[in-house]
């Protein structure tokens, strides 16, 4: 089965017009199955109150639909976030008589500058994504976990999207960053039992030898030895010009790595500080290890900023 995940930003009603409502928490899923294609739409249902909700949606997304009904601070933050998460595939829907020429200056130079402007037509949007040929990412399987629970008679079940490779029934995998070993008992894709699921598919995996209570959102399933864990990261940070502050040593920021959102302390900065709109090498330390891939996109959040809560981004 072919699949992809699409973030719906700026329209709380559109998801329900695109697919069948599924799991709901700080993000809400809507599922569409058409033949051998499954599309998962994800809406950041706690945004704009919680920037973490938007970060989770974009961290899962292969593409996005941005609905614009006014030009305000929230739109600006959404554009900054889409760019920070490198979302390059998607569409823009304009409402309230806003014209494309009004928006193009705001998205110029960002990852979404080539988003196509389309009408708000759920049927046409579904057709677009069902026919979309998402380039596969091959290699060792990688499944970040977004939800987890125990099911009577089945055991531990996790939900997540296959971000690389193919997950197969009976695969022996490692749960990172805790290093616990598990085996895939069974796989479901859009409520159908399958023996394997490839990149792009949203899966439910029944697992052996681990309890749901051992999971946190953002834990990653992968073959042993294919990912690493660390309590520190060092990389070149691009600080957003819309974050009206200066990054300094010993500041505490929230770091998004995949679906992991963890506080970290600024251990050191090459040059002492990084001002808004500038780039500098930064070292961050965590209280507990996090799971890391290579390459890995890193996004920093300032949860209490009065300007943009997206502080900056970089790549390991």
Partners of 239 in the beta sheet? Answer: 312
Pair 193, 187: CB distance under 8 Å: yes
Whole-Å CA distances, 222 to 73, 171, 184, 227: 39, 10, 11, 7
**What gap in Å lies between CA 60 and CA 42, rounded to an integer?**
8
Q: Which residues contact 307 (CB under 8 A, 6 or more apart)?
A: 242, 243, 244, 245
Global pTM reads 0.97
Residue 72's pLDDT band (boundaries 50, 70, 90)?
A: very high
Model pLDDT, residue 107: 98
Structure token digits, residue 312:
């900056």
Model pLDDT, residue 247: 98
pLDDT digits (tens, 9 = 90+) for 112-135: 999 999 999 999 999 999 999 999
Pair 184, 167: CB distance under 8 Å: yes
**What gap in Å lies between CA 231 and CA 290, rounded to an integer?**
6
Q: Is 289 exposed, middle or buried (0-12, 13-18, 19+ CB in 10 A)?
A: middle
Whole-Å CA distances, 129 to 32, 33, 41, 92: 10, 11, 10, 14
Pair 90, 96: CB distance under 8 Å: no
Structure token digits, residue 126:
């579904």
Q: What's the mean pLDDT in 159-171?
A: 98
Model pLDDT, residue 126: 98
Residue 297's pLDDT band (boundaries 50, 70, 90)?
A: very high
Model pLDDT, residue 139: 97
Interior angle at CA 16, CA 218 and CA 160, nearest 5: 20
**What gap in Å lies between CA 250 and CA 232, rounded to an integer?**
14
**What gap in Å lies between CA 19 and CA 140, rounded to an integer?**
30
Q: What's the mean pLDDT in 93-110?
A: 98
Strand arrangement, sheet containing 90-94: 20-24, 28-34, 37-43, 2-9, 63-68, 90-94, 116-118
Model pLDDT, residue 99: 98
Residue 268's pLDDT band (boundaries 50, 70, 90)?
A: very high
Look up residue 92 and give its DSSP letter. Answer: E
Structure token digits, residue 269:
């900065």
Closest CA to 142 of 203, 87, 53, 65: 203
pLDDT digits (tens, 9 = 90+) for 134-145: 999 999 999 999
Share of the chain above pLDDT 70, in %: 100
Model pLDDT, residue 249: 97
Mean pLDDT over the full length of the chain: 97
What are the chain's domains?
2-131 (3.40.50.300), 143-222 (2.40.30.10), 228-315 (2.40.30.10)
Model pLDDT, residue 48: 97
Pair 10, 166: CB distance under 8 Å: no
pLDDT digits (tens, 9 = 90+) for 7-64: 999 999 999 999 999 999 999 999 999 999 999 999 999 999 999 999 999 999 999 9
Model pLDDT, residue 217: 98
Q: What's the mean pLDDT in 194-222?
A: 98
Residue 68's pLDDT band (boundaries 50, 70, 90)?
A: very high
Model pLDDT, residue 209: 96
């Amino acid at each position: 089965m072919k699949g992809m995940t699409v973030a719906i930003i700026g329209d709380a009603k559109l998801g329900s017009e695109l697919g069948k409502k599924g799991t709901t928490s700080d993000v809400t899923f809507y599922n569409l199955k058409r033949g051998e294609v499954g599309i998962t739409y994800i809406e950041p249902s706690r945004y704009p109150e919680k920037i973490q909700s938007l970060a989770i949606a974009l961290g899962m997304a292969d593409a996005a639909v941005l609905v614009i009904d006014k030009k305000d601070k929230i739109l600006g933050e959404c554009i900054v976030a889409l760019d920070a998460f490198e979302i390059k595939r998607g569409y823009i829907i304009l409402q309230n008589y806003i014209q494309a020429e009004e928006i193009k200056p705001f998205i110029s130079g960002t990852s979404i500058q080539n988003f196509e402007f389309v009408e708000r037509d759920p049927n046409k949007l579904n057709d677009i994504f069902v026919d979309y040929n998402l380039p596969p990412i091959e290699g060792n399987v990688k499944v970040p976990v977004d939800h987890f629970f125990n099911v009577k008679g089945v055991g531990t079940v996790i939900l997540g999207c296959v971000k690389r490779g193919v997950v197969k029934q009976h695969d022996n995998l490692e749960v990172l960053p805790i290093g616990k070993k598990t085996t895939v008992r069974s796989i479901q894709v859009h409520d159908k039992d399958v023996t394997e699921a490839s990149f792009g598919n949203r899966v439910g995996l029944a697992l052996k030898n681990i309890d749901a209570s051992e999971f946190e959102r953002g834990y990653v399933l992968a073959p042993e030895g294919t990912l690493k864990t660390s309590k520190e990261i060092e990389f070149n940070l691009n600080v957003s010009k819309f974050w009206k502050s200066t990054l300094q040593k010993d500041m505490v920021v929230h770091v998004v790595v995949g679906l992991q959102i963890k506080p970290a302390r600024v251990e050191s900065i090459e040059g002492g500080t990084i001002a808004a709109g500038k780039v500098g090498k930064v070292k961050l330390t965590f209280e507990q290890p996090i799971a890391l891939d290579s390459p890995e996109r890193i996004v920093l959040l300032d949860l209490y900023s009065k300007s943009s809560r997206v502080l900056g981004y970089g790549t390991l």
